[in-house]
A and B are shown apart, each in its own frame.
Chain A
Amino acid sequence: MTLEIQNVSKRYQKDNFGLKNFSITIEKGILGLLGPNGAGKSTLLKMIATVSKPSEGLICLNKNNIVKDPNYIRQQLGFLPQDFGVYPNLNAFEFLTYMAAMKGVGGTNLKKRIYQLLEGLNLIDTAKKPIGSYSGGMKQRVGIAQALLNDPRVVIFDEPTVGLDPEERVRFRNLISDLANDCIIILSSHIVSDIDTIADKVAVMKTGTLLAHDNPESLVNQVQGKVYSITISKEQLPKFKTDYLVVSTARKNQQLEVRYLADQPIANATLKEANLEDAYLYLTKTKS
């Protein structure tokens, strides 16, 4: 199973691109998609999900051009958009039945599958209540359920952990790992920790272009030996920020412990083990 994105651009106005000449090949497994706001992550995901058409370029799933034949991927797609709504007058069971009809799936096992999905997502007690009465977290679960309804081979999750608490995030990650055995899963998130433990590959995007596409270890290796920690006063921080790429700061006894990236250490700085967040910041702040 291969999803090829070849020289894809999305042009909104003459010189305004959401995505520019973007190419990537995605194989079976989990691809983590990272990038700051406006990087083009959602634009890319919408085009793969066939709700938006590229201005230029090709998107092929198993050599089938899905720009020309979107129904090919739709048959095997599970899509959870970043921002979605529901029909408030339907209950969760009816909503999933509606989505099953939309996706073109049915049969004798449909009810059973919906029931088990609702059971697994712990929505069964409220399954007969109108979704309009659901909280944000419950709606997010309904969104996850609909994405898994049709036994998808390509699953797109755009910011899926919004509305989920830390424990749920862990369980959601387990759920995705289980799914990844024979599917393509594309997972977009602002939260690097949502991605670094489960992604087989990570793609980092910025201003509609691909900065890097590799496994997490290789990306982390790019900044290994460049991550330092130092304790400074609050007054020193503004100047420090102009000189170095600061990853994070933490208060420590009226002082600040600063994690930063640099090619050479400075006095009193301690070398730290690099992680994906360091690599992500390094790529997005230093490359264009």
Chain B
Amino acid sequence: MKFLFALIKYDYLQRTRSYTFLITLCASLAIAYTFVPAPDANYSTMRIGDYIGEYNSAWFGYVTAIMTSVFLSLVGFYLVSSSIKSDGITKVGQIVATTGISNFKYLLIKSLTNFMVLLTLMSIIFLMSIALFLLYNDGFDLKLISFIKPYLVIALPSLFFISILAVVFEVIFRKYTVLQNVLFFFCFASLLVFRPKTEVQYGLDVFGSKIITDHLEETVKEIKSLDDATGLTIGYVLGTQNASKKFTFTGFDFPSSFLFSRLLLIGVSIALIWVVALFFHRFDYKSIANVKGTKKITGQLNPLKDLNISSLPQIATNYSIAPMIKMELLMLFRKGKRWLWIVNFIGMLLLVMLPLKVSHQIVLPILWFLQVHRLSDLAIKENLHNMHYFVFSSQAPLKRLLGSQLISAIVLMLIVASPLFVRYAFMGEIAQVLAIVIGGLFLVLLSAIMGLISKGKKLFEVVFFLVTYANINTIPFVDYFGGINASTKTSIILGILIFLISLATLMLRKRQLVQL
């Protein structure tokens, strides 16, 4: 048992001492700050019809716990996934495989470390919610139990489940990260829309939030006789706060069956680990490769020949960026599984066939999001593949390399969006065409700068996911591609933003070259 704690501790330290974790921590703090809007803020995060709760301890505790449970489950999965993959990359996995540790114990350690990482973020959000309660003091007393109880019952088991799910997905889908991410998104969306009808069904709600939100709805209905049509809204809704009426929420006594279901979730999660441990590859990549058909070249290598360097054909100087763009495009197109291109083509067909509004507002952001694995390492792939010494010692890497990477990615984004683009062009909707071009440009630059800042892919992947999710839900201030409203004002703002990001990207890349 003692060695388990030691392994979890050092795995935890290794992961929390990363730059990505620091950025996620700051982002979590910033987002936690918005969970309960300031009294004069012009948005709401949880409301029932026109009603929000009075700013007492219970409202703060339960709202932030629900938001944490949902938000951290979504973001947290992407943050903690790939922990086994990184052990494979660092070759620590192969060393672990030679030790006596069982598959179950190894996977449990990975899951528990995932949980510790998410728990750290949850604790920060918890403290932030108390700080906000004190800051927005509405004359109510601080009741710690009203904060602790919802976090313990709602958020904690959800995060435990997500920590384990990340490991389970990694074991099942192995190196298919895109598949893991897409499938998780569908699981998440399905769980989110799940509406329990009976008390027993509340136990199936992984996020543990429905029992509270239904209670809140009932409370408001009882007070004000509201019907279902003006029910609960969770999420960032703009321009509604000032019109809010207040009701008093004093907390909730969880039924024992629900408490049992939360404990059961933890138990089932551990059982899941035990099941997938039977299929864990234990870093035997050769057998995985054989199964998947990507074989390593084996056998004895033919010896070097007597190569006469001086007799090699002379080559000419060519500083054109065109060959580099061609090669960067080739790498972008070849990245990921081939079947993803079938999905891309279906998406492009939908851009042609579906009504313009649906194509632009729903299909385009999803289609662009499907390129996330191509964009996320755009400006950092030389570091991730340990190619930086080659490329940074070649001709004018600052402008030629970065330029070719950005141009090729923009070309990719525009090719993917081309059916919609052409439709608008034929209709003479130049503003829409411009909005799509700007959107593609913005995404590419966002991926470059986020990669350079975080030195990893995850920050962009999570942000891109959240932005796409928000766009599909028609939240206006993240509309980067004119899906909701392609106004000149938005284009100008995005243009300025693109200019600033370009400058920052250039500076960061320059710094990267100097700091090697």
Q: Is B101 an interface residue (CB 8 A)?
A: no
A52 to B388, alpha carbons, bound, how many Å? Answer: 11
Q: Is A50 an interface residue (CB 8 A)?
A: yes
Q: Tell me whether A84 and B386 are in contact in the complex, defined as CB-CB below 8 angstroms, given that A102-B391, A134-B297, A167-B303 are known contacts.
A: yes
Question: For window 36-95 of chain A, which residues contact chain B by CB distance below 8 Å?
Answer: 46, 49-53, 71, 74-75, 77, 79, 81, 83-90, 94
Q: Is A190 an interface residue (CB 8 A)?
A: no
Q: Tell me whether A172 and B304 are in contact in the complex, defined as CB-CB below 8 angstroms, given that A104-B318, A133-B296 are known contacts.
A: yes
Residues in chain B near residue A129, CB distance under 8 A? 297
Residues in chain B near residue A83, CB distance under 8 A? 386
Measured CB to CB, the closest approach of chain A to B454, in angstroms, equals 20
B317 near A179 with CB under 8 A, answer no
Question: For window 308-323 of chain B, which residues contact chain A by CB distance below 8 Å?
Answer: 308-310, 312-320, 323
A138 near B301 with CB under 8 A, answer yes
A117 near B312 with CB under 8 A, answer yes
Measured CB to CB, the closest approach of chain A to B39, in angstroms, equals 48
Residues in chain B near residue A168, CB distance under 8 A? 303-304
Q: Is A100 an interface residue (CB 8 A)?
A: yes
B307 near A141 with CB under 8 A, answer no
Residues in chain B near residue A90, CB distance under 8 A? 330-331, 334
Q: Is A126 an interface residue (CB 8 A)?
A: yes
Q: Is B387 an interface residue (CB 8 A)?
A: yes
A154 to B296, alpha carbons, bound, how many Å? Answer: 34
A97 near B389 with CB under 8 A, answer no
B304 near A121 with CB under 8 A, answer yes
Residues in chain B near residue A167, CB distance under 8 A? 303
B295 near A171 with CB under 8 A, answer no
Q: Could you list 26 examples of A-B contacts with CB < 8 Å?
A: A50-B393, A52-B516, A74-B393, A81-B389, A84-B386, A84-B390, A87-B387, A89-B334, A90-B334, A97-B323, A98-B327, A101-B324, A101-B326, A102-B395, A104-B396, A113-B312, A113-B313, A116-B307, A116-B313, A120-B304, A122-B301, A122-B303, A122-B304, A126-B297, A146-B390, A175-B304
A59 to B56, alpha carbons, bound, how many Å? Answer: 67
Q: Is A99 an interface residue (CB 8 A)?
A: yes
For A179, give the chain B residue with the smallest CB separation: B309
A102 near B324 with CB under 8 A, answer yes
Measured CB to CB, the closest approach of chain B to A152, in angstroms, equals 10
B307 near A120 with CB under 8 A, answer yes
Q: Is B306 an interface residue (CB 8 A)?
A: yes
Cross-interface CB contact of A106 among B323, B392, B400, cutoff 8 Å: B323
A135 near B318 with CB under 8 A, answer no
Cross-interface CB contact of B393 among A49, A89, A105, cutoff 8 Å: A49
B310 near A178 with CB under 8 A, answer yes
Q: Is A109 an interface residue (CB 8 A)?
A: yes
For A102, give the chain B residue with the smallest CB separation: B394
Known: A99-B394, A113-B315. 9 other contacts (CB 8 A): A79-B393, A86-B385, A90-B330, A100-B323, A116-B313, A120-B305, A120-B307, A168-B303, A172-B304
Q: Tell me whether A151 and B390 are in contact in the complex, defined as CB-CB below 8 angstroms, given that A87-B331, A89-B331 are known contacts.
A: no
Cross-interface CB contact of A110 among B315, B385, B386, cutoff 8 Å: B315
A71 near B296 with CB under 8 A, answer no
Measured CB to CB, the closest approach of chain B to A157, in angstroms, equals 13
Q: Is A213 an interface residue (CB 8 A)?
A: no
Q: Is A239 an interface residue (CB 8 A)?
A: no
A51 to B392, alpha carbons, bound, how many Å? Answer: 6
A89 near B335 with CB under 8 A, answer yes
Question: For window 356-391 of chain B, which residues contact chain A by CB distance below 8 Å?
Answer: 381, 385-391
Measured CB to CB, the closest approach of chain B to A92, in angstroms, equals 11
Residues in chain B near residue A119, CB distance under 8 A? 305
Ranked 6 nearest A-B pairs via Cβ:
A120-B307, A85-B386, A107-B316, A106-B318, A104-B395, A101-B323
B389 near A109 with CB under 8 A, answer no
Measured CB to CB, the closest approach of chain A to B358, in angstroms, equals 34
Residues in chain A near residue B310, CB distance under 8 A? 178-179, 181
B306 near A86 with CB under 8 A, answer no
A85 near B393 with CB under 8 A, answer no
Measured CB to CB, the closest approach of chain B to A12, in angstroms, equals 11
A141 to B334, alpha carbons, bound, how many Å? Answer: 24
Q: Is B514 an interface residue (CB 8 A)?
A: yes
A129 to B298, alpha carbons, bound, how many Å? Answer: 13
Measured CB to CB, the closest approach of chain A to B513, in angstroms, equals 8
Q: Is B99 an interface residue (CB 8 A)?
A: no
Q: Tell me whether A133 and B316 are in contact in the complex, defined as CB-CB below 8 angstroms, given that A79-B389, A84-B386, A102-B390 are known contacts.
A: no
B312 near A49 with CB under 8 A, answer no
